[in-house]
Structure 1
Amino acid sequence: MKARSRWVLVAAGLVAALGLTACSSDTSGTPAAPATGAHSPTAQAAPKPSAAVAYTPTAGATDVNPVAPVSVKVTDGTIQSLTLTNPAGEKVIGKLSADHTTWNVGEPLGFGKTYTWSGTALGADGATKPIAGEFTTVTPNGTIGTRINTGDGKTYGVAMPIAVTFDAPVDDKAAAERAMTVRTSVPVEGSWAWLDDTRAHWRPKTYWPAGTEVHVNLKLYGVHYGDGIYGADDMTADFSIGRKQVVKANTQTHRLKVYRDGKLTADFPASFGMESDPGRVTNSGTHVVMSMHESYSMTNPQYDYYDVVVPWAVRISNNGEFVHGYAPSVWAQGSQNVSHGCVNLSPADAKKYFDSALVGDPVEITGSDKQLDAADGDYYDWTVPWDEWKSMSALAQ
């Protein structure tokens, strides 16, 4: 009985409480108090922000690379006016973004110069803020210039290497190589290789495809080569690869054959370097046509001849090897090797070959016991096996 009584009392108390809750809002007659917060008559609108200006590089920066990114960015506002001037007061070329919030420099800067910002930014609050400050570019310990062997608008043979020569030794070859690119109109596998501290060559794995268009871009200005030495200039070259012509010459058969697009177009009797004298042997290996001369004066004090003028001379190495006309050796051409290392043809045959040739054509010589190599200077590129050539890239280290 006691347990039941306690339950009844608890239940009754719950009902009473529920009853009070249900009736309180309907019977009080007192209006509800107004809510406070965002819709309160006393709330204020948030103030609009003023413009914030960020500089790259930071104001007052020194030793800035002249090709590093340079910009001004405004948040919570826009750029009203902006100029960047050099020490002579000349404006630096730049570009303003379409939304007028960012300005980027549009040209390389100079070494060892102080550049000054001036202008204004308009904030969302309607207030203007000055754009001002300066930075200074690095003063190098020295600069290194470059040269390239290919010319704009020129057409070369299928063995033509791209040769970049630096005016002084380059310590950080990887930095230089990353800044040198080669683009082609058709896929071509190729690689840079460093022949020494001042020479980098690019060549394909195999001969260039005929008709290839090539663009070389050397973005070397401002590249740090180490020890405070920087690249002095940028350079580009746009050239074409012509028809495929390959010369195959054999010192034992005494013939020089010309193949155009795989077809034999000429077969000339020739005389090569005399094998009995090591100093006169014509090197075996893939040579490259380097230059062409309607006449050329030959001098070799070691063999006591001076200013011997020969016609239709096509240089194929830096060691004095040419394909050229030479009437005094016509009697030996096709049967004996009597030259001092050059490939002798009759003047008439030399003219025919000369008229068919391009700088960059391969001249493949076989038959002698002496091989073309690095001692013979540019261009011995094709005598280096492909895997070895790739290993000579600074980026392969």
Structure 2
Amino acid sequence: MNRRRALGALALGVAAPGVLAACAQAANKIEAAVESPPPAPTLAYSPAVASADVTPTAPVSVKVTDGWFQKVALTNPDGKVVAGNLNRDRTEFTTAEPLGYGVQYTWSGSAVGQDGKAVPLAGNFTTVAPAVTVSGQFQLADGQTVGVAAPIILQFDAAIAEEDRAEVEKALKVTTTPEVEGSWAWLPDEVGGSRVHWRTKEYYPTGTVVHVDADLYGVPFGQNAYGAADSTLDFAIGRFQLVKAEASSHRIQVLTDAGVIMDFPCSYGEGDLDRNVTRSGIHVVTEKYEDFYMTNPAAGYANVRERFAVRISNNGEFIHANPASSGAQGNSNVTNGCINLSLTDAEQYFNTAMYGDPVEVTGTRIPLSYADGDIWDWAVPWEEWKSMSAVSSEASALNLPSTAPATPTDAPVPTAAPGG
């Protein structure tokens, strides 16, 4: 044998046992891997099993690792199954509807592991039981058409502390088409209630469509109070109409996109007493009555029939017909604060007035304020208005009381059904 060939054969023969040893080790590892049991399914509940005081709108789910759900259900004590969805690979179940208050919910079903064995779902949790639920009501109706200055008012049937208002306000959303700048602001309300208003920076463009979401169910209101229900509101902005009312002119003008369409002589508040001053500022039309029987003890009259009365403030200010002041209309101010017109002129204006129309009063010594009732929104400068939002980082400079009446005690009141 050639020596080089012999050495080559020897070298080859030496290497062969090492290769065989490596193959044996790999085979042992494969055999060990095959013999290891697959991991059992692992379940993760949210909220955790046995949790208490769970918010009914909190995300609720159960996930499985190293397995898939064969069946899963969440039920209340009456056996009602909560609606929910499984993801595509059946590894996560998520509820698809809010839960109830003060209810215990129980998991059931099973998850199957890689070995084909089933693991049961079990456990329960309990939702929060409120001491009281708080309802909110809009002042506008679905489908209503309103004037360009109409605020959105959400009235609550409980007092909400300042520190709890941000959570409530975050649940409110206004969507306008076209987009319009606006802000919420919390205004003083009567004892036992709270209200928040949404107002635009400028008057709405005509034809604006407005949608409001108030997702209040499950929202904490403080003192273990929670929102009673969600609600929505849809309304539209109608034509543009504005009343210009300069007290020193003894006239009012009604303007639309076409310009001045009415220009009437009138009489404003006499101004001898504060209660007889027509307030300066942007008022908002809220009601109108063909007949309004009015009583005002402070002014010394009762059960007086007023015709074509358009309310512009809850302090008792109306634009209405008053033949008794006809001699002063156009030359002097003699009323108790209302804007008086002739019967013919009052009817003409009455027929065009709409909830939400702005009435801009100028030229008097007392401005419109919280003391004048529920809508004085436009008397507040825009930057100040925004600071009255509970989510604003700016402190409000207005020194407002915590409560204020929606209708001042010295305001004229109806003494019979309007129109009756």
* TM-score of the pair, normalised by structure 2: 0.84
Q: Secondary structure of 1:132's match?
A: coil
Distance change (3 Å), C-alpha of 1:125 and 1:30: closer
Shift of 1:287: 0.1
Are the counterparts in 2 of residues 50 and 126 from structure 1 also a CA contact under 8 Å?
no
For 1:77 and 1:391, locate their aligned partners in 2 and report how far apart those are by CA, in whole Å: 53
Shift of 1:142: 2.5
Alignment match, 1:9: none
Shift of 1:150: 2.0
Are the counterparts in 1 of residues 138 and 152 from structure 2 also a CA contact under 8 Å?
yes
Shift of 1:154: 0.9
Q: Secondary structure of 2:204's match?
A: coil
Q: Is 1:24 the equivalent of 2:10?
A: yes
Q: Is 1:321 the equivalent of 2:309?
A: no
1:289-328 Cα distance to aligned partner (Å, 9 max, x none): 1122222221101122112222222111110011122233
Q: Percent identity?
A: 49
The residue type equivalent to 1:364 in the other structure is E
Alignment match, 1:93: 83
For 1:43 and 1:337, locate their aligned partners in 2 and report how far apart those are by CA, in whole Å: 104
The residue type equivalent to 1:68 in the other structure is A
Q: Secondary structure of 1:395's match?
A: coil
Distance change (3 Å), C-alpha of 1:126 and 1:362: same
Alignment match, 1:36: 24
Alignment match, 1:272: 268
The RMSD of aligned alpha carbons is 2.5
1:116-165 Cα distance to aligned partner (Å, 9 max, x none): 12222223322222122211111223332222212211111111111122
Alignment match, 1:72: 62
For 1:244 and 1:24, locate their aligned partners in 2 and report how far apart those are by CA, in whole Å: 107
For 2:38 and 2:13, locate their aligned partners in 1 and report how far apart those are by CA, in whole Å: 48
Higher alpha-carbon Rg = 1
Shift of 1:221: 1.7
Distance change (3 Å), C-alpha of 1:28 and 1:183: closer
Shift of 1:114: 0.8
Q: Is 1:84 the equivalent of 2:74?
A: yes
Distance change (3 Å), C-alpha of 1:28 and 1:315: closer
Alignment match, 2:283: 287
Moved over 6 A (4+): 18-21, 27-31
For 1:300 and 1:389, locate their aligned partners in 2 and report how far apart those are by CA, in whole Å: 32
Q: Is 1:184 the equivalent of 2:176?
A: yes
Shift of 1:229: 2.3
Alignment match, 1:301: 297
For 2:72 and 2:81, locate their aligned partners in 1 and report how far apart those are by CA, in whole Å: 10
- Please point out which of 110, 113, 117 is paired with 1:123: 113
Q: What stretches of structure 1 of length at least 5 have no aligned partner?
A: 1-17
Alignment size in residue pairs: 381
Q: Secondary structure of 1:357's match?
A: coil
For 1:20 and 1:334, locate their aligned partners in 2 and report how far apart those are by CA, in whole Å: 134
Shift of 1:273: 1.4
Are the counterparts in 2 of residues 288 and 362 from structure 1 also a CA contact under 8 Å?
yes
Alignment match, 1:259: 255
Distance change (3 Å), C-alpha of 1:370 and 1:44: closer
For 2:372 and 2:257, locate their aligned partners in 1 and report how far apart those are by CA, in whole Å: 28
Q: Secondary structure of 1:230's match?
A: strand
Alignment match, 1:150: 140
**1:1-397 aligned within 5 A:** 24-26=10-12, 33=20, 35-38=23-26, 42=31, 44-45=33-34, 47-171=37-161, 172-196=164-188, 198-261=194-257, 263-397=259-393
The residue type equivalent to 1:33 in the other structure is L
Are the counterparts in 2 of residues 273 and 343 from structure 1 also a CA contact under 8 Å?
yes
Are the counterparts in 2 of residues 37 and 43 from structure 1 also a CA contact under 8 Å?
no
* TM-score of the pair, normalised by structure 1: 0.88
Q: What stretches of structure 2 of length at least 5 have no aligned partner?
A: 394-420
For 2:286 and 2:16, locate their aligned partners in 1 and report how far apart those are by CA, in whole Å: 107
Are the counterparts in 1 of residues 268 and 337 from structure 2 also a CA contact under 8 Å?
yes
Are the counterparts in 2 of residues 295 and 309 from structure 1 also a CA contact under 8 Å?
yes
Are the counterparts in 2 of residues 246 and 258 from structure 1 also a CA contact under 8 Å?
yes
Shift of 1:89: 2.2
The residue type equivalent to 2:378 in the other structure is W
Shift of 1:19: 11
